[in-house]
């Protein structure tokens, strides 16, 4: 039996979010912080992170979830496991938490239609739409700036309708210009600050009423 994808329009506020991570989880932290702000704070996010799933046991974000009292789950790919089989297990696990929305916050695995046909998902990417898809986007943008090819990069949040890499209808995008004297570290720091704000704003823009509960 095919289960239908839950519709954001049908969901009660606060939205139930499942966040998928692979690393340090600073963007997960931004979501958790926004959810825990008081409802009369304009930066409040009317949502609840109901589970965090990592494909890596050593992801620092798992401890952030634990500190926030959110179930922190690890689902590693088994040796030789086919992508669709991993995605079937991930679909089952995530489905237990009945999310309104799945947020890919540094989840460094491509998802197949096995997963994406079931859940609405959005992805954060540390570059502007159509640029530097895949791994090490910040490093590649920095190298392109040093080579005189670009003078800005940026951040985007997009829907994930299919198996395209860091590609899909854009929800929010913001450029981050390079400045004279930038190092990779100084540029990355500015870019991450934009990510933390833009991701939360993008989730908020998908809230059905925009009115906190």
Is 125 a residue of the active site? yes
**Contacts of residue 133, Cβ cutoff 8 Å, sequence gap at least 6:** 125, 127, 165, 166, 167
Q: Is residue 27 within the footprint of ligand GAR (CB under 6 A)?
A: yes
Q: Enumerate residues 63-102 that contact ligand GAR by CB under 6 A.
A: none
CB count within 10 Å of CB 110 equals 14
Question: Quick check: 27 and 199 in contact, CB under 8 A?
Answer: yes
User: In the complex, what is the shortest distance from the CB of residue 184 to ligand GAR, in angstroms, rounded to a whole number?
Assistant: 13
**14 scored as a contact of ligand GAR (CB under 6 A):** no
Please, what is the end-to-end C-alpha distance for the chain in angstroms? 34
Helix (H) or strand (E) holding 92: helix 83-95
Q: In the complex with ligand GAR, which residue's Cβ is closer, 19 or 50?
A: 19
Q: Site map for ligand GAR, 106-125, x if CB under 6 A?
A: x-----------------xx
What are the catalytic residues? Answer: 125
Binding site for ligand GAR (CB under 6 A): 21, 23-28, 61, 105-106, 124-126, 137, 166, 195
């Amino acid at each position: 039996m095919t289960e239908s994808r839950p519709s954001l329009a049908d969901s009660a506020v606060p939205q139930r979010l499942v966040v998928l991570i692979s690393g340090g989880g600073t963007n997960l932290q931004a979501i958790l912080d926004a959810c825990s702000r008081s409802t009369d704070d304009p930066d409040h996010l009317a949502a609840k992170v109901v589970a965090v799933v990592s494909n890596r046991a050593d992801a620092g974000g798992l401890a952030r979830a634990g500190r926030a009292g959110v179930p922190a789950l690890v689902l590693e790919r088994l040796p030789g496991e086919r992508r669709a089989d991993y995605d079937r297990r991930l679909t089952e696990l995530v489905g237990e938490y009945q999310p309104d929305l799945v947020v890919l916050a540094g989840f460094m695995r491509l998802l197949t239609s096995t997963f994406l046909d079931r859940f609405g998902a959005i992805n954060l990417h540390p570059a502007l739409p159509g640029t530097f898809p895949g791994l090490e986007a910040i490093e590649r943008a920095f190298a392109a700036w040093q080579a005189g090819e670009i003078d800005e990069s940026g951040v985007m949040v997009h829907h994930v309708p299919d198996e395209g890499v860091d590609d899909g209808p854009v929800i929010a995008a913001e450029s981050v210009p390079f400045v004279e004297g930038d190092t990779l570290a100084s540029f990355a720091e500015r870019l991450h600050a934009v990510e933390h704000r833009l991701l939360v704003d993008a989730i908020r823009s998908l809230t059905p009423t925009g009115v906190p509960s």
